[in-house]
Amino acid sequence: MHYLYKNYLHQFENFNKKRKNKKSCKNAAIIVETRPLWELPLVIKNFAYFNEDFNYYFIGTDETINYVKNHVSNLEYFLIKRDNTTSFISFYNYLLKKISFWEMFEEENLLIFQADALALKPINLKSFDFGFVGAVCGELSDDLSIFDMNGGCSLRKKEETLKCLVNTPSSSTEPEDVFFTRKMRRMNLKMPTFDECQSFSVESVFKKGAIRPCCIHGISNFYLQTSEIKKWIA
């Protein structure tokens, strides 16, 4: 992980503002993790610092739940069982393509984030009124109208997400974000443009210029140049 990311995350180490999930809240921030990664509590604090108007949920094993509880307070927890013979990525994609996963949450707007994501500023939900919005990735059409979106830091509508899963078998090896991008386009649901995606989140593909996204995804993969990182987090 780039030293700039580490320095940025450690700014939130002492962030312990008291908060509580509310039944009246329509927004949920959700992270699934079965590995006790060192950055995990800091990433949760980072997102909670910028995005207070969300209920926060952690889905993990006994080990990761106990680990997070020691560092972060006021989260709701869901215990899951993972077959350790299966990679975390395969398990994650399997989990997010199950109707039962999405039905765990009562909220309408679901922010999915992973331990390799960073929050840079608050998310204005009115600006991202789509079934699914995430960082641009995958193959791009020449006019930038067709692309995949990464789900590792993404905002989704529960209703549209469930529509995609009804009577829709998915390849067990297909990444969940590719599945949802493809399915929502096929169903002619409202989808974001390239520019709207990069205003929300950036991974490796974005237009150069004066943008400052709400989030970054893939911080452990060194997608971004140091010069770009410094513009946003230094």
pLDDT of residue 114: 97
Helices 226-233/3-10 angle, 10° precision: 10
pLDDT of residue 143: 86
Q: For residues 34 and 13, give the distance between their C-alpha atoms in angstroms, rounded to a whole number.
A: 21
Q: For residues 192 and 140, give the distance between their C-alpha atoms in angstroms, rounded to a whole number.
A: 14
Write the DSSP symbol of residue 100.
H
Residue 126: what are its φ and ψ, rounded to 5°?
Answer: -65, -25
pLDDT tens digits, 146-156: 899 999 999 99
Supply 175's token pair: 């990444």
pLDDT tens digits, 31-63: 999 999 999 999 999 999 999 999 999 999 999
Q: Of 75-84, 102-111, 123-132, 153-162, give the lowest mean pLDDT range.
A: 75-84
Show the beta-strand stretches assigned E in the chain.
27-32, 55-60, 76-79, 109-113, 117-119, 132-137, 148-157, 201-202, 215-217
**Model pTM score:** 0.94
Sign of CA dihedral 160, 51, 201, 150: negative
Instruction: State whether residue 28 is helix, strand or coil.
Output: strand
pLDDT of residue 170: 65
